[in-house]
């Protein structure tokens, strides 16, 4: 495979008119970045991560990046700037932005009853009252009381699906599920909540969810290497495999390949985004309003979502306890961190990821790894939590 000099690769991959407008003199990396990279590598070593990438941005520009390991171990393909990762739950921010677009077009309000769009949800048991009390705002903020997993019946059987694949399967499960707490009274992370939001998007627009996101977020922002589902043939060479570190009954640990593509099924609206970090850079430039006074870029950003509406998403709907790893509060899909930081993480199959921004300083840190440690999950979660805390410290000023 031909490889190009790292800085040139990033320049070429970001060479859209919008990105060109964002080019500024290089800035020095923050003082904490080298220590973060060292911690990133230590985490990767401890979890037997096969391949990983991270970068830091300022004003829409990559000021430092770091790649390590392999995108595909069997093919000996190293991670580089084109490597495509699965971003898992960071997808939820796309779904939420789509809902805010529809709000701004007066096609819905955040206080609309969800059952007005999805009457099937009245089948869910709710000992706290009527299902009609659940609103779109509650879905966006994980305060509706729905369960966390989309498919809550896993028992480790070989025939079990990775995730449900059709809407009808979700509907058939509704009579056998219940609301966990009084809607609006507390936080409870929920993946199905974002599938319900996608259903609302489809009903109001007539577009399938995937098509709506492509047309109304990815295309205007120039995210040309982002996709849902099976990898397009022209991008297949850059798709990262994903791996799990497993321990057998005798205590022997081994890293097992799960395959480059997998079917997220009906969960695409809460965890289906695939893309290289270069596309996440463009997305983070939008989130941090890196227009540099360019009127074309500003018009594109405002077309996707007005700045005031984006900032609405970063207002706390509910405070979270100090022990929460999600941050200090939850907004509309985004999580809020002290010192004005906004973030979302992702975890599905063997992929783990983070999108962290400081809207006030226009800084961002993004990372992705292609291996999950299932042999030592508590140790892995502790290490990942510490790594996220280090990332926050780098740009929290």
pLDDT per position as a tens digit, 11-27: 556 655 444 444 454 57
pLDDT tens-digit map of 106-127: 999 999 999 999 999 999 999 9
User: CA-CA distance, 118 to 184, in Å (whole number)?
Assistant: 18
* Per-residue confidence band for 140, with pLDDT thresholds at 50, 70 and 90: very high
Domain boundaries, given as residue ranges, for the chain: 6-89+242-265+275-395
Confidence band (pLDDT; 50, 70, 90) for 158? confident
Beta pairing partners, 8: none
Q: Looking at the domain that runs over 6-89+242-265+275-395, which CATH code has it been given?
A: 3.40.710.10
| Predicted local distance difference test score (pLDDT) of residue 159 | 79
User: What predicted TM-score, i.e. pTM, was given to this entire model?
Assistant: 0.94
Whether 277 contacts 366, CB under 8 Å: yes
The model's pLDDT over 283-311, given as tens digits with 9 standing for 90+, comes to 999 999 999 999 999 999 999 999 999 99
Q: What is the pLDDT of residue 12?
A: 52
Distance CA 300, CA 263 (A): 32
To the nearest whole number, what is the mean pLDDT of the chain?
93
126-153 in b/e form (b: 16+ CB < 10 A) is bebeebebbbbbbbbbbbbbbbeebbee
- What is the model's pLDDT at position 397? 80
């Amino acid at each position: 495979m031909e490889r190009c000099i790292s800085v040139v690769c990033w320049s070429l991959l970001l060479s859209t008119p919008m990105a060109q407008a964002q080019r500024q003199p290089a800035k020095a990396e923050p003082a904490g970045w080298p220590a973060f990279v060292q911690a990133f590598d230590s985490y990767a070593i401890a979890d037997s991560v096969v391949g990983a990438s991270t970068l830091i941005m300022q004003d829409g520009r990559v000021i430092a990046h770091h790649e390590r390991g392999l995108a595909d171990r069997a093919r000996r393909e190293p991670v580089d700037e084109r490597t495509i990762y699965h971003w898992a739950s960071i997808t939820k921010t796309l779904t939420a932005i789509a809902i805010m677009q529809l709000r701004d077009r007066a096609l819905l309000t955040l206080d609309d009853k969800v059952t007005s769009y999805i009457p099937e949800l009245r089948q869910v048991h709710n000992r706290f009252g009527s299902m009609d009390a659940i609103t779109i705002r509650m879905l966006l903020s994980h305060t509706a009381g729905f369960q966390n997993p989309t498919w809550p019946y896993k028992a480790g059987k070989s025939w079990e699906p990775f995730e449900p694949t059709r809407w009808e399967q979700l509907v058939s499960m509704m009579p056998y599920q219940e609301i966990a707490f009084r809607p609006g009274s507390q936080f409870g992370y929920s993946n199905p909540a974002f599938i319900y939001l996608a259903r609302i998007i489809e009903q109001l627009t007539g577009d399938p969810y995937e098509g709506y996101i492509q047309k109304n977020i990815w295309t205007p922002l120039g995210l040309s290497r982002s996709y849902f589902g099976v990898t397009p043939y022209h991008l297949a060479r850059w798709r990262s495999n994903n791996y799990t570190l497993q321990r057998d009954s005798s205590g022997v640990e081994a890293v097992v390949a799960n395959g480059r593509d997998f079917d997220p099924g009906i969960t695409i609206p809460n965890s289906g985004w695939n893309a290289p970090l270069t596309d996440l850079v463009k997305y983070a430039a939008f989130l941090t309003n890196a227009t540099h006074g360019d009127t074309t870029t500003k018009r594109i950003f405002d077309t996707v979502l007005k700045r005031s509406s984006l900032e609405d998403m970063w207002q706390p709907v509910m405070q979270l306890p100090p022990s929460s790893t999600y941050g200090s509060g939850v907004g509309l899909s985004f999580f809020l961190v002290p010192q004005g930081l906004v973030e979302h993480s992702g975890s599905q199959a063997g992929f783990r990821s983070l999108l962290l921004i400081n809207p006030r300083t226009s800084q961002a840190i993004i990372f992705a790894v292609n291996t999950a440690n299932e042999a030592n999950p508590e140790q892995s979660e502790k290490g990942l939590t510490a790594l996220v805390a280090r990332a926050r410290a780098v740009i929290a000023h």
